[in-house]
A and B are shown apart, each in its own frame.
Chain A
Amino acid sequence: MAFIVAALSQPTAQKTKKNIPNLIMHRLLIYICGMQKSSLYKGCLEPIVLRLLKDNGRMYGYSITQKVKEITKGELQITEGALYPLLHKLEAEGIVETTVENVGNRMRKYYTLTKAGTQQTQAAMEELKAFMESLNRIINPKTTIA
């Protein structure tokens, strides 16, 4: 959270008692809008991949990147440098299992959720939902109260 604190503590605006909450929200939104989309999504990559595997059965690396691109209409592009280390980590933890098959003139490695992976997906989804609700409470405090 250090970046948020840093963004909030810029000494440019007048900090009167009245405008401090608005100022904080303004700074926060400016910071979030200024961030790269990939940074915002970074912590959500694992739930995204798990959910895709749950919905689509087995997938391979490139198909995951394309599916995300397709669903988000190009808004989110998962980089290979982030995707493969995550897939390898999930494989080592027994959350996904792999099969290798011949596809045309090359081989392809497919990832599938294990039984433990399906349970993990459920937990990850609930965690993500709770996070989104918390974020919503910060961004739209009035809506949440209503």
Chain B
Amino acid sequence: MQASELTPDQIQQLFTFTTKHCVRHYDLQVELVDHLADAVAAKMNDTETPISFDDALQKIYAGFGVMGFSPIITSRQQAVLKYSNREKWRLLKQYFTWPKAALTMLLVTVFATLPQMMTIFWLKVVLVTCSAIFFAWEITEIVKVYKAYRLQTQKLLLTENSYWAPGFGVLVIDIFSMFHGWDWFDTGAAFSLNTFYTYSGICILFFICSLALVGFTKKLHLLARQQYPAAFKIAG
């Protein structure tokens, strides 16, 4: 069945139909509308007795069963979740395999050798500075994602749960508080080499996780823009 058999108005009606039947995400709508359009066009042409667009649509929809589009919506949500988790783990694992493992090793080596090169005071300065840079970088990534979100005009299942992902790294502020970072420069505040190693180790881990999550969000948005350009407005 040729795609041009239904008019643009009828295609629009199909989009409205899917929305009415609880399909609110554009990426899933696109797939269902294409299927319905083909099936409806075939029904309208194949039947010996004339059949209207609406009747054909109702007959085709009845073929989806009593649950309608629900099983498809659920399966798509589960599939996106599964894909997202798989992709996040894959990206994270890259930082423990060559060549990206070099970055992890470099960070660990630098922080492991720092205590041999400077005093406790300067170790505190390094930790506070690195935490502040990490936090600032996280904020810029969140702003970038927010801007990307603003460009999206249609809801996409593919990107729906990815907006929170780069926000993970801001938790570094909680870790900083847990280690009483605000009191490190007070006279008499406890700060040992153990504190330095533990805090820097956690920060490196958080940083690597954040890099993976930011990479995941960027990849997902690139994929969404390539596959569904109509769901985004052009950046001005």
B-chain residues with CB within 8 Å of residue A85 when the two chains form the complex:
71-72, 74-75
A-chain residues with CB within 8 Å of residue B177 when the two chains form the complex:
none
- Chain B residues in the interface with A (C-beta under 8 A): 1-4, 6-8, 11, 30-31, 33-35, 37-39, 63-65, 67, 71-72, 74-76, 78-80, 82-83, 86, 227-228, 230
B-chain residues with CB within 8 Å of residue A89 when the two chains form the complex:
75, 78-79
A-chain residues with CB within 8 Å of residue B86 when the two chains form the complex:
92, 94
Q: Which of A60, A81, A94 has the most CB of B within 10 A?
A: A81
A62 to B33, CA, bound (A): 11
Chain A residues numbered 89-118 whose CB sits less than 8 Å from any CB in chain B: 89, 91-94, 98-100, 103-109
Q: Which of A79, A81, A94, A99 contacts B227 (CB 8 A)?
A: A99
B-chain residues with CB within 8 Å of residue A62 when the two chains form the complex:
1, 34-35, 38-39
Q: Are B30 and A100 in contact (CB under 8 A)?
A: yes
A10 to B119, CA, bound (A): 86
Q: Which of B1, B4, B11, B75 has the most CB of A within 10 A?
A: B75
A104 to B8, CA, bound (A): 9
A70 is an interface residue with CB less than 8 A from chain B: no
Q: Are A103 and B72 in contact (CB under 8 A)?
A: no
Q: Are A103 and B3 in contact (CB under 8 A)?
A: yes
Q: Are A106 and B79 in contact (CB under 8 A)?
A: no
A100 to B30, CA, bound (A): 9
A-chain residues with CB within 8 Å of residue B38 when the two chains form the complex:
62
B-chain residues with CB within 8 Å of residue A99 when the two chains form the complex:
227
Q: Which of B3, B11, B75 contacts A84 (CB 8 A)?
A: B75
A143 to B149, CA, bound (A): 65
* Least CB distance, A111 to chain B, in whole angstroms: 10
* Least CB distance, A26 to chain B, in whole angstroms: 33
Q: Which of A92, A103, A104 contacts B79 (CB 8 A)?
A: A92
Q: A62-B38, A88-B76, A109-B34 are known; give 14 further A-B pairs, CB within 8 A.
A: A60-B35, A62-B1, A62-B34, A79-B63, A79-B64, A81-B65, A81-B67, A84-B72, A89-B79, A92-B78, A92-B80, A98-B227, A103-B3, A105-B7
A79 to B75, CA, bound (A): 15
Would you list the 4 A-B pairs with minimal beta carbon distance, nearest first?
A85-B75, A104-B3, A92-B79, A88-B79
Q: What residue in chain A is nearest B80 (Cβ atoms)?
A: A92
B-chain residues with CB within 8 Å of residue A94 when the two chains form the complex:
86
A-chain residues with CB within 8 Å of residue B35 when the two chains form the complex:
60-62, 80
Given contacts A80-B63, A106-B33, contact A100 B2 (CB under 8 A): no
A9 to B70, CA, bound (A): 37
A-chain residues with CB within 8 Å of residue B64 when the two chains form the complex:
79-81
Q: What residue in chain A is nearest B65 (Cβ atoms)?
A: A81
* Least CB distance, B134 to chain A, in whole angstroms: 32
* Least CB distance, B83 to chain A, in whole angstroms: 4
A106 to B71, CA, bound (A): 23
A81 to B74, CA, bound (A): 11
* Least CB distance, B174 to chain A, in whole angstroms: 32
Q: Are B34 and A91 in contact (CB under 8 A)?
A: no
A62 to B80, CA, bound (A): 21
Q: Are A105 and B4 in contact (CB under 8 A)?
A: yes
Q: Are A105 and B6 in contact (CB under 8 A)?
A: yes
A99 to B27, CA, bound (A): 12
